[in-house]
Amino acid sequence: MEQTRARAESPTKFLLDETQLPRRWYNIAPDLPSAPQPVLHPGTGEPVGPDDLAPLFPMELIGQEVSQEPEIAIPDEVLDLYSLWRPTPLYRAHRLEQAVGTRSRIFYKYEGVSPPGSHKPNTAVAQAHYNKKEGRTRLATETGAGQWGSALSFACRLIGLECKVYMVRISYEQKPARRSMIKAWGAEIVPSPSENTESGRAILAEQPDSPGSLGIAISEAVEDAAGREDTAYSLGSVLNHVLLHQTVIGQEALAQMELAGAFPDVVIGCVGGGSNFAGLAFPFLREKIAGREIDVLACEPAACPTLTRGVFAYDFGDTSKLTPLVPMHTLGHDFVPAPIHAGGLRYHGVAPLISQLVRDGLVRAEAYLQNDVFASAVVFAGSEGILPAPEAAHAIHGALQVARSADDEGRERTILFNLSGHGHFDLAAYDNYLAGKLEDVALDEREMSRALDAIEGLPSPA
Ligand SMILES: Cc1ncc(COP(=O)(O)O)c(C=O)c1O
């Protein structure tokens, strides 16, 4: 009886019903304190226009990429598909708080309830929808950990498009079950670098045992899409329109925190290209830009420390220099991160919108070693029960670090983080961690300056 009463006073889950699904995406671009730098054509050095991007993306997404509208309506077909798993739950992590003995309150938004298991379908269904509407019949993409490839093959299957996935070779080998899932939804999948494209063949000729990287897989998918009329390219992160589609996460979380009678002092997400972080954080950053005090923390791996040690520069989004030049924090486009288990965080760049927010001091970043991250993941699994994706475990680790320092200072904080996916396909990583076989890799200074040589001679942002 006592326990039931205590639980009712302090619930564990904060749920919205389908009628409360956000009807609009939030566009942070018009609220940014400084104007974004343009994306440049590498040949001319001039800003790219819609015609440059038309071979790769549908016009509606190109429009969203440069939109200054504060909000964009979500199409009905996308809302219908969202309703398969959205709104997602927000949890109060009572048991985690007890397990680590913190005085802070910890909340998390759980995106692992989507059919593919992460936040990625929030943009996959939107991208598939616009491509279908504008007559494309096939999409080509890359995937790191396999979450994005699963999300796009799921979306293509439900919307009725063909899909080709170039999966970073190291993840292709580490995660055979992700491959099966991608195939079950009907997509074709190959390890990258592959023999299917010129970019892949060139890399294999130089390094036959290349573990691959997102930068390489992007080159392959872009080349595939650029070479076929029926095919568009689809990216799972980094671009403005991708981050835009993810803002359903933060909008729901704002309403759910209100249900909990709380507001976060600290908002945390892990960052690969930046889409789940932006999805949660941007609606809260709107409040911060309007004057509310919130500490916004981006968490990344020490093996690929783009925001904490990279430079803000113009760089290519891919290894073979097929994309436009993007103003972002980068480690250099030919950087191949060590094969850590958070495959989705192994990318040399970060979304320009997030890079700019870091540069403007609205977002801060920290980098963590993978054994520390897995230690936090196991504490989380042992208290909250959910086995997190290694990527998402970076946000858990960030939240626990913040709680620990608040305890040391005698403060009580309200912490909200994004649990971007479950780790049911990452069991080999857990096996390695539990057997003490995970190596801690922090990026070596020499390799970093070698990789940054690749951006010498490219234009500098203002
Ligand atoms: C579960 C999960 N979280 C986070 C990420 C990182 O991507 P992003 O920074 O775009 O959210 C990935 C990428 O594959 C992922 O699978």
Write out the DSSP string of 197-254: SHHHHHHHHH-TT----HHHHHHHHHHHHHT-TTEEE--SSSSHHHHHHTTHHHHHHH
What sign has the CA pseudo-torsion 241, 29, 391, 22? negative
**Closest C-alpha residue for ligand 1 atom 1:** 421
pLDDT, residue 343, reads 80
Please give the DSSP secondary-structure letter assigned to residue 436.
T
pTM, 2 dp: 0.96
SS3 161: coil
Backbone phi, psi, residue 43, to 5°: -75, -45
- Walking along the chain (462 residues) 10 residues at a time, the average pLDDT comes out as 60 98 98 94 94 95 97 98 98 98 98 98 98 98 94 98 96 92 98 97 96 92 96 97 98 98 98 98 98 98 96 94 95 89 88 97 98 98 98 98 98 98 95 96 92 94 88
pLDDT, residue 4, reads 54
Out of 109, 120, 304, mutate this one to test ligand 1's pocket (max ligand atoms within 8 Å of CB): namely: 120
pLDDT, residue 342, reads 82
Direct distance between the N- and C-terminal alpha carbons of the chain, in angstroms, rounded to an integer: 63
170's tokens: 């190291």
pLDDT, residue 145, reads 85
Task: Count CA atoms within 13 Å of residue 188 on its CB side.
Answer: 11
Mode of pairing for the β-strands spanning 105-110 and 414-419: parallel
**Closest C-alpha residue for ligand 1 atom 5:** 344
Residue 342 CA to ligand 1 centre (angstroms): 9
**Closest C-alpha residue for ligand 1 atom 6:** 272
What span, in angstroms and rounded, lies between the C-alpha atoms of 174 and 171? 5
Out of 142, 168, 345, 353, mutate this one to test ligand 1's pocket (max ligand atoms within 8 Å of CB): namely: 345
What span, in angstroms and rounded, lies between the C-alpha atoms of 79 and 23? 8
Element (H, E) at 368: strand 364-368
CB-ligand 1 contact for 355 (6 Å cutoff): no
pLDDT, residue 341, reads 83
Q: Contact 266/95 with Cβ under 8 angstroms? A: no
What span, in angstroms and rounded, lies between the C-alpha atoms of 124 and 122? 6
Cβ burial of 66 (10 Å; 0-12, 13-18, 19+) is: middle
What span, in angstroms and rounded, lies between the C-alpha atoms of 125 and 123? 6
What span, in angstroms and rounded, lies between the C-alpha atoms of 251 and 317? 29
pLDDT, residue 95, reads 98
pLDDT, residue 7, reads 60
Beta strands in 97-185 (DSSP E): 105-110, 138-143, 162-168
Whether the upstream peptide bond of residue 75 has omega within 30° of 0, thus cis, is: no
Average pLDDT of the chain to the nearest whole number: 95
Atom of ligand 1 nearest to the CA of 242: 10
SS3 432: helix
pLDDT, residue 166, reads 98
CB-ligand 1 contact for 398 (6 Å cutoff): no
Element (H, E) at 308: helix 306-309
Residues 6+ apart with CB under 8 A from 146: 167, 171, 175, 178, 179, 181, 182, 343, 425
Out of 150, 152, 214, 276, mutate this one to test ligand 1's pocket (max ligand atoms within 8 Å of CB): namely: 276
CB-ligand 1 contact for 390 (6 Å cutoff): no
